[in-house]
């Protein structure tokens, strides 16, 4: 191929121009990549991310199981009969305590006594939920606790006729949600035994039963009459009247 002298002189200049253009393109590309590059995550950011992740998963099944075990290890007697405020405060001051206790109390698959302890601590330190669906779950739990004597003695449930027990107050606070579950206890003849001095003397002399407490709570929630008589047979007739009025 033949080229003129002018063309041969232009070739070196063309090479130089192409090299310069190539350098410019590469520099622009590098600047563009640097502009969009994500800076490496700092140690502080990684720590914050880790803490957020831990907080979001604080109510995992493992977490609830750990809380359940901790509550059962202390037990109702120490929490409320002996009023171990240190143990109560330790549970309450733990991270996310209110939510963790509420979730355990409402978990129908959890151990019932642990659920009851969680609910009682929640009520003692704050209050029970006001949401009707949640109250229904708790009402069933409290009915089970009464029927199966989770408290060990009847003292926390109070004496029929006087709403003087904290746990009994919690039942009544659940309102209408509690009524169907309490109705289910109106045939429960299991004795409710009291300890102490005056309360035990009075309560045990009346031979109160689970159904007497259930009937009394219903009468408070519905604001209907329920006569408290020393004779259990007379109370049975009053319970029969109450059952009839609830149909």
What does the DSSP assignment read for 28-86?
HHHHHHHHHPPPPPPHHHHHHHHHHHHHHTTTSHHHHHHHHHHHHHHHHIIIIIS--HH
pTM score of the predicted model: 0.75
**Cβ pair 128, 174 in contact under 8 A:** yes
pLDDT at residue 24 is higher than 50:
no
pLDDT at residue 4 is higher than 90:
no
pLDDT at residue 52 is higher than 90:
no
The arithmetic mean of pLDDT across residues 15-44, rounded, is 45
The arithmetic mean of pLDDT across residues 73-99, rounded, is 94
Q: Is 129 left (phi over 0), alpha (psi -120 to 50) or beta?
A: beta
Lowest mean pLDDT among 85-94, 148-157, 191-200: 191-200
Q: Where are the chain's structural domains?
A: 60-127, 132-247
Structure tokens at 138: 């708790």
Per cent of the chain over pLDDT 70 is: 75
CA distances from 200 to 155, 194, 206 (A): 8, 5, 10
Round the average pLDDT of the chain to a whole number and report it: 83
Interior/surface letters 164-184, b for 16+ CB within 10 angstroms, e for the rest: ebebbbbbbbbeebbbebbbe
pLDDT number for residue 64 = 80
> What is the spatial distance between Cα 214 and Cα 185, in angstroms, rounded to a whole number?
6
Please count the CA atoms within 13 angstroms of the CA of 15 that sit on its side-chain side: 6
């Amino acid at each position: 191929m033949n080229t003129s002298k002018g063309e041969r002189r232009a070739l070196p200049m063309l090479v130089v121009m192409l090299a310069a253009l190539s350098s410019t393109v590469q520099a622009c590309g590098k600047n563009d990549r640097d502009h969009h590059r994500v800076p490496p995550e700092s140690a502080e950011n990684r720590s914050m991310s880790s803490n957020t992740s831990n907080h979001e998963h604080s109510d995992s099944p493992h977490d609830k199981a750990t809380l359940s075990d901790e509550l059962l290890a202390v037990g109702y007697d120490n929490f409320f009969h002996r009023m171990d405020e240190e143990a109560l405060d330790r549970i309450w001051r733990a991270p996310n305590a209110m939510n963790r206790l509420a979730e355990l109390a409402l978990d129908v698959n959890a151990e019932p006594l642990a659920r009851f302890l969680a609910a009682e601590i929640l009520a003692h330190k704050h209050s029970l939920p006001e949401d009707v669906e949640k109250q229904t779950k708790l009402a069933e739990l409290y009915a089970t606790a009464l029927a199966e004597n989770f408290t060990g003695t009847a003292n926390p449930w109070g004496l029929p006729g006087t709403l003087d027990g904290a746990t009994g107050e919690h039942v009544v606070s659940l309102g209408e949600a509690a009524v169907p579950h309490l109705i289910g206890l109106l045939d429960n003849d299991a004795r409710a035994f009291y300890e102490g001095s005056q309360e035990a003397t009075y309560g045990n002399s009346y031979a109160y039963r689970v159904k007497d407490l259930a009937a009394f709570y219903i009468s408070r929630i519905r604001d209907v009459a329920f006569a408290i008589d020393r004779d259990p047979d007379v109370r049975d007739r009053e319970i029969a009247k109450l059952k009839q009025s609830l149909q």
